[in-house]
Structure 1
Amino acid sequence: MGVRVRRAQESDRDLVVRLLDESFRDDPVSNWVFPGEEHRLARHAGLMGVFTDVTLAEGYIDLAEDGSAVALWMDMPDAPHDGAGDGGREGGGDQDDVPAQVRAAVDPDNERVEQIARWTTEIHPEGRAHVYLWMIGVAPGRQGEGLGTALMAPVLERCDREGLPAYLEASNPRSRALYERLGFVFTGTALDLPDGPSMWPMWREPQAG
């Protein structure tokens, strides 16, 4: 299918946050981070706002022109670094504890906001430059149309041209199956959230044309 994709700008922030909120509100990991529908409705969009702001500042966001799908990307260096450059998932030092700052800004009484940031940082591969697909969201009424695949295609094509691997964490079995079709491989060690769902780190080597 033909999907027109453009690079999101600061003026698209509210659209991106709304789309991520709608796309991930019923995701297993979001349900674990914000247990209870009322709690999730009150706090989930705030966390999506932090993710959007960090990516606009340090990465790039691709958006379907009709507002149906969005992808948050980060170009990761070949060595670990401090601060929010890992999409707010980099722990940083004592003076720059990003997971704690995110928790304080989004939901101060909810330790799971901080925990998920720390755990995903711990499993994030280091030592080799790669492209990180932090989040990809498709509007609930548009899922199953191939929008996610179309949105990812330009970046994966760039990865293949430039010899760059790509990395992501799948948060549900359906998305994991999609990523496998696109060449991602489960790294072998899942992140099993306490009394909650699993996340699957996945790695994609650049592929020859």
Structure 2
Amino acid sequence: MGVVIRRAGESDRADLVRLLDEAFRDDPVSSWVFPDAEYRRRRHGALMDGFLDLALSEGYVDITEDGSAVALWWSVPAGADEDAEEGPAQLREAVDPGNARIEEIARLTGEAHPTERPHQYLHMIGVSPERQGEGLGSALIGAVLERCDREGLHAYLEASSSRSRALYSRLGFRFIGNAINLPDGPQLWPMWREPEPSGTDGGDTGRFA
């Protein structure tokens, strides 16, 4: 039986922030944004809340029925400017005004983001640490990719590790050529997916409640 997925809302905010905080606090990118571990422990949740706020207001958030995995998506129209000038600064001001790296990573990812064609943008996907490796992330992604295939929609994301890049490759995403190099930090790999009329090969795909 597939993983049951539902659309999350404002009432889920506290649980979602907690889940994202746990899933990403020790991630290489989060460790770059907040190099000091103790400061990261105190401020990382605010960054996750900022990302969630954007997804709830401008995109959509899918969560597994048991609350163990979450995905943040945007529907990006062709020609979107990604708020290239104001967005990164606004995010920094809202989350941690003294942390220039918040603005820098938002600016770098925005500059790399393709805008020629409309697409579904997977901004983040997090799985509770004790549930990782069970296929929940693939199910969350697969549910949206099935819709992309049915409706002829493209999809985009940035892989933050070689492991996630390999997973996304199996789901039909392809590296588009120029890695995002965080200064003195990890790389991100922009990846694009064309719709596949035959459907995805994502294994245990989800179903909506």
Q: Tell me the TM-score normalised to structure 1 length.
A: 0.92
Q: C-alpha displacement at 1:2, in angstroms?
A: 2.6
1:51 corresponds to: 51
Determine the C-alpha separation between the residues in 1 that align with 2:75 and 2:22: 26
2:9 corresponds to: 9
Q: Does 1:121 align with 2:98?
A: no
Which residue among 79, 84, 103 is the counterpart of 1:91? 84
Q: C-alpha displacement at 1:143, in angstroms?
A: 0.6
Aligned runs of 1:99-110 on 2, under 5 Å?
Answer: 99-110=88-99
1:150 corresponds to: 139
Q: Tell me the TM-score normalised to structure 2 length.
A: 0.92
Q: C-alpha displacement at 1:104, in angstroms?
A: 1.4
Residue type at the aligned position of 1:122: E
Determine the C-alpha separation between the residues in 1 that align with 2:159 and 2:27: 11
**Which structure 1 residue ranges, 5 or more long, are not aligned?**
none
Determine the C-alpha separation between the residues in 2 that align with 1:160 and 1:53: 28
> SS of 1:99's equivalent?
helix
Q: Does 1:60 align with 2:53?
A: no
Deviations 1:43-98 (A, max 9, x none): 110010011011101110000011110000100001124xxxx5xxx324xxxx12
Which residue among 162, 175, 193 is the counterpart of 2:151? 162
Q: C-alpha displacement at 1:40, in angstroms?
A: 0.6
Checking the alignment, whether the CA contact within 8 Å between 1:27 and 1:172 is kept in structure 2 is no
Residue type at the aligned position of 2:84: G
Which residue among 132, 155, 164 is the counterpart of 1:175? 164
Aligned runs of 1:2-41 on 2, under 5 Å?
Answer: 2-41=2-41
Determine the C-alpha separation between the residues in 2 that align with 1:102 and 1:74: 16
Which residue among 188, 195, 204 is the counterpart of 2:177? 188
Higher RCO (CA 8 Å, separation ≥ 6 residues): 2
Aligned runs of 1:72-83 on 2, under 5 Å?
Answer: 72-81=72-81
> SS of 2:88's equivalent?
helix
Q: C-alpha displacement at 1:129, in angstroms?
A: 0.4
1:206 corresponds to: 195
Residue type at the aligned position of 2:107: R
Residue type at the aligned position of 1:117: A
Residue type at the aligned position of 1:15: D
Determine the C-alpha separation between the residues in 1 that align with 2:13 and 2:4: 19
Identity of aligned residues (%): 64
Alignment coverage as a number of residue pairs: 198
Determine the C-alpha separation between the residues in 2 that align with 1:67 and 1:80: 31
> SS of 1:199's equivalent?
strand
RMSD across aligned positions (CA): 1.0
